[in-house]
Amino acid sequence: MNTGGKATPPPMPLPMAVPTPHAGMHAYLSVAYLSSYEGIGIATIHCYGGCTCEPAEIDGHRPPAVTSGGGSSGGGSGGGGGGGGGGKGGGPPRQQFVSLWLQHRLEARLQRGALSCVVRVLLHNRTSSGGTKFKLGGLSISWDPRQDANASVAGEGLGGRVRERHAQGHAAGPSQCTTVAHSK
For the cut 60, the answer to whether the pLDDT of residue 72 exceeds it is: no
Contact 153, 21 (CB under 8 A): no
Average pLDDT in the chain: 67
Provide the pLDDT for residue 15: 67
- Per-residue pLDDT band at 156 (split at 50, 70, 90): very low
Least confident of 94-103, 108-117, 152-161: 152-161
- Return d(Cα 119, Cα 105) in angstroms, integer: 13
Give the CB-side neighbour count of residue 17, counting CA atoms within 13 A. 11
Least confident of 15-29, 72-86, 90-104: 72-86
Beta strands in the chain (DSSP E): 13-19, 26-35, 42-49, 51-53, 56-59, 65-67, 94-96, 100-110, 116-123, 136-143, 163-167
Provide the pLDDT for residue 179: 28
Contact 116, 17 (CB under 8 A): yes
Q: Give the pLDDT mean for 46-54.
A: 89
Provide the pLDDT for residue 118: 87
SS3 assignment, position 141: strand
Q: Give the pLDDT mean for 40-63.
A: 90
Provide the pLDDT for residue 127: 79
The string of pLDDT tens digits covering residues 81-110 is 444 444 455 678 888 888 999 999 999 988
In 10 A of CB 127, how many CB atoms?
19
For the cut 90, the answer to whether the pLDDT of residue 76 exceeds it is: no
Provide the pLDDT for residue 33: 93
Contact 151, 133 (CB under 8 A): no
- Per-residue pLDDT band at 56 (split at 50, 70, 90): very high
Backbone dihedral angles phi then psi of residue 105, each to the nearest 5 degrees: -115, 130
Which domains does the chain carry?
1-64+94-184 (2.60.120)
